[in-house]
Structures are given as C-alpha cells and as structure tokens.
Amino acid sequence: MVAVRRGQLVLGAAALALGFALAWSVSHRSGAPAEVPAASASAMADPLAALEQATRDHPDDPGAWRALGSAKFEAGAFDEAARAYEQASRLAPKLAVVWSSLGEARVMASRSDPMPPAALEAFRTAARIDPKDPRARYFLAVSKDLGGDHQGAIGDWLALLADTPPGAPWEADLRRTIEQVGKIHKIDVASRLAAVRQPAAPAGAGAAMPTVAQGIPGPTAMDLKAAASIPPSQQREMAEGMVARLEGKLKANPANPDGWLMLIRSRVTLGQADKAAQALKDGVAANPGQAARLRQEAAVLGVK
C-alpha cells in the first residue's frame, strides 16, 4: 500500500489549480493598482492571517473559505484545511470541487486510516454532483484499491487518464500511480497505458498546458504578501472589481477564448458557480470554433 499512500498526493497540484485563491492571480494579471496601503507587520509576517481575517469579514462567502482551505492545505495544516472546506461546503453545497477538496484534506489529515469514511463520503458527494470531477474520481479509485479491487482501481484511473487533457498538472503522477500499482500487484498495464487516447491538446502557444491550469501552484509568497497588504475588508471587493472589469472587456471584445477561460476560473474561485457556467456559455457563443476547447478546459474546473 506504500504506492497508494504516496498516490494520495497525486492531485495536490490539481487541488491548488482548482481551489486556491486564484483571484489574487487575476488581480496581478489584470493590472492591480500600483500603490496599496502599507501592510501591518503581522500581516506581512503571516500572510495566512489576511485570509483568516477575510473569512471573519465575509463569513458567508464560500470563496473566502475555499481560499483559506487551499492555503492551509498548502501549509500542511490539513485539519484546519478540512474545517475551512467544511464551511465552504455548507455555503456552496452544489460545487463539486469544494467536496473533493474537502475529501482530500480529510485524507491528508488522517493519522491512521488511509481513506476515512468522512473523506469517502465527500468524494462520493462530489462525484454525484459532477461525475467528471478528476480529484473525486482519483480518490474513489484509491478506495477501490484499498479494498482489494486493484483491477477496478486501475480501470478507473485509466478512464480518468483518457479524460485528462495533455499537460494537466496531475497527468504524470496519475500515470506513475497506475504503473506502480500494476507492478505491486503484477498487473500488466503497459499496453493499456499505450492504448489510452487523451483529448486533443488545444492548438496554439502553451498547448501543452490547459489555460485553466496555468499558473500552478497558484500565488507565490510575494503574491500573498501583496494581497496581505490590502485591508481584508477590501480584498474581496478588489478581486470582484478586477473580475468585473475582465468581464466588461470580454463583452466589448468577445473573440478571446483565453480571456473567457480566465473569467470562468475566476468565477469558480469566487464561489460563483452559476456565473462561471454563464461565462462558459457566453464564451462558446462568441467563439463557436473554440467550443470544444472551452468546454474541455472548463470541465477541469468542474464547470459544465
């Protein structure tokens, strides 16, 4: 089970891609104000404090809880990450990525059980909401492997690989997990791996990495410090303002598929699932020739 236990980390990068505070990334890419109020010494010393304060200032904002959960997960505070995601799941119960993030945090927080019942239930909830959620699919296959169904687990992982865009942040580790579990249990997987046909990579520059996954693993320490220099009560307002301006630019010049993908990702980060779905719809309508790519990359974020 060593390989399986290590495999629990496979979607760590994906977790950051799907759940981190990407609003900060949006603000930097969209041109944040050159001058911001000076940060307090405590905020600069502990950037997490700003995210924690944001949840106190906006306790009903699922995006704030998701950002805190992601930051806690990144810091290795898995119990605290799980508590933040639990709150996000209460506020956004129909968002699959919240439930799969919660499940992963519960797995990592467990001291003994490699698949705690509460984690398994979170993954099952995510899968009921979105059967294509990659993290839920991965860990549900882990559960099969732990239960002795190694062939079933490998089959599920291969199916996930077949739906994985080339260059997705979890692709290499997913392949490695399949190979390792196959080797441990003397299951030939080489031919099956070779037979997998993944979705075609998007054409153009940066095709090896889906647009929605670019920027992994999310904000740098410098980004977090910059965010911490803004009073917590203004952080959400600033992020929403940046996203609104991006949306306005896209409505004025809609022939920009990358811009629509950035908007979709930003809406997901802010916990605005309905607006993310509308952005996908609008982006497809404005760029029918890119419809397949837009839908494929949006699916990485759990947006249909």
- Measured CA to CA, the distance from residue 37 to residue 34 in angstroms comes to 10
Share of the chain above pLDDT 70, in %: 71
For the entire predicted model, the pTM comes to 0.60
> Higher pLDDT residue, 57 or 210?
57
- What token pair was written down for 45? 């010393």
Reading phi first (left if > 0) and then psi (alpha if -120 to 50, else beta), residue 116 is in beta
How many domains does the structure of the chain reveal? Answer: 1
pLDDT, one tens digit per residue, over 95-121 is 999 999 999 999 999 988 889 999 999
User: What integer pLDDT is reported at residue 13 of this predicted model?
Assistant: 27
Q: State yes or no: pLDDT of 15 exceeds 60.
A: no
What is the distance of C-alpha 265 from the center of its chain? Answer: 9
User: What integer pLDDT is reported at residue 264 of this predicted model?
Assistant: 86
Q: State yes or no: pLDDT of 257 exceeds 90.
A: no
Q: How far from 95 is each of 91, 128, 188, 271, CA to CA, in Å?
A: 9, 11, 37, 8
- Measured CA to CA, the distance from residue 304 to residue 292 in angstroms comes to 12
Phi, psi of 56 (to 5 degrees): -75, -35
CATH number at residue 40: 1.25.40.10
Given the structure tokens 């998007």, which residue do they identify? Answer: 202
pLDDT, one tens digit per residue, over 37-86 is 333 334 434 567 888 888 998 899 888 898 889 888 878 889 999 999 99
Q: Are 294 and 283 in contact (CB under 8 A)?
A: yes
- Average pLDDT taken over every residue of the chain: 75
> Higher pLDDT residue, 214 or 31?
214
How sure is the predictor about 276, in pLDDT bands with cuts at 50, 70 and 90? confident
- Measured CA to CA, the distance from residue 173 to residue 108 in angstroms comes to 17
Give mean pLDDT, residues 255-263: 85
User: What integer pLDDT is reported at residue 46 of this predicted model?
Assistant: 57
Give the domain extent around 217.
2-300
